[in-house]
Amino acid sequence: MADAKYDVLGIGNAIFDVLVTTDEKFLADHGMAKGGMALIDEVRAASIYRDMGPATEMSGGSGANTIVGLASFGARTAFVGKVKDDQIGKLYAHDIRAAGVAFDTRPSTGGPATGCCYVLVTPDAERTMNTYLGAAQDLTPDDIDPAQISAASIIYLEGYLWDPKNAKDAFVKAATIAHGAGRQVALTLSDAFCVDRYRDEFLDLMRKGTVDLIFANESELHSLYQTSDFETALKQLRQDTKLGVVTRSEKGCVVASKDGVVAVPASPIDKLVDTTGAGDLFAAGFLFGLVRNAGYENAGRLGALAAAEVIQHIGARPQVSLKELAKQKGLPV
């Protein structure tokens, strides 16, 4: 949309990532469900940190990773998320602004520390996440600026926001303002365990039209419709939402709308290192294609390209310019 100040504005949990490579035994010893995301308290966070090996620390958060990916493609972006006015919170704000993203959410001065996620990567490149939400859960409807929301073509929301009650209210407020301004609202389901917790509420958001576009991976889709049959779930998704995009790892993705289903292959990679951020960066590429009116197939290819870049190194944010990478591959930017 020509009159929009931002292409995409993301709302999500502002989380600092602590990434460590580990083994299956560590997960078992700490009672972790491999491949999922568990919410933890400060005490558990401290014990995991104490027991784990040398770590790589960087700014993260699912929605923020997507927005940083979009900025790397050259999109105009903004992010809304809550940090505390502490050392990690200041680092987080610096990182996201340095990536070219507008970040104006006021930090909290009291209450819990800036949120952290302990990301344990096993030798098969699968990531298991333990998240201490901290200050992120203090995002409230007051942090939603109607003028800023109205100025974005697409509002992108992460499913993890559905855990804290205040954030949930902020999310619904943003969606209402966006639709009032004629904008679109996208939601990523985030995690199969997240879908298990809020299945009925997510379906309600879709069926009532609170969200227009859904991002899911296969396990999230199966969890949403409680079926192991992909075609059955896909058919239901097409009935429930205007546009659904389902990622299928090495099988690529499918874009499902009322008009039909478009399948797009995955981008080839040399070596799988860490799957953290694959879905986040896929969403970045797809949304970029969407705001550039590149068509569903090209949007899927841009998503596949961004996901392929991020899974070949540690960390959930791109290490090269996605715009330049897309140009090299002859994709529209």
pLDDT band at 242 (very low <50, low <70, confident <90, very high): very high
User: Helix and strand tally (H, E) in the chain?
Assistant: 12, 14
The number of distinct structural domains making up the chain is: 1
In which band, very low, low, confident or very high, does the pLDDT at 159 lie, cut at 50, 70 and 90?
Answer: very high
Name the residue range of residue 268's domain: 6-13+62-112+134-328
Assess if residue 42 is contained within a domain: no
pLDDT of 97-108, one tens digit each?
Answer: 999 999 999 999
Residue 95 lies in a domain: yes
Mean pLDDT of the chain: 95
161 in a domain, yes or no?
Answer: yes
CA dihedral 145, 151, 157, 161 (to 10 degrees): 0
Tell me: pLDDT of 2 over 50: no
- Using one digit for the tens of pLDDT, what is the confidence trace for 12-65? 999 999 999 999 999 999 999 999 889 999 899 999 999 999 999 989 999 999
Pair of tokens at residue 130? 């333990």
- Among 75, 327, 291, 77, residue whose Cα is nearest residue 305: 327
What confidence tens digit (pLDDT) does each residue in 189-224 have? 988 889 999 999 999 999 999 999 999 999 999 999
Does 241 fall in a domain?
A: yes
User: Is 55 inside any structural domain?
Assistant: no
What span, in angstroms and rounded, lies between the C-alpha atoms of 65 and 33?
Answer: 23
Rounded to whole angstroms, how far apart are CA atoms 285 and 150?
22
Is 41 part of a structural domain of the chain?
A: no
CATH number of the domain to which 299 belongs: 3.40.1190.20
- Residue 36 counted as domain residue: no
| Predicted TM-score of the model (pTM) | 0.94
In a domain, 53, yes or no: no
Q: What pLDDT was estimated at residue 326? A: 97
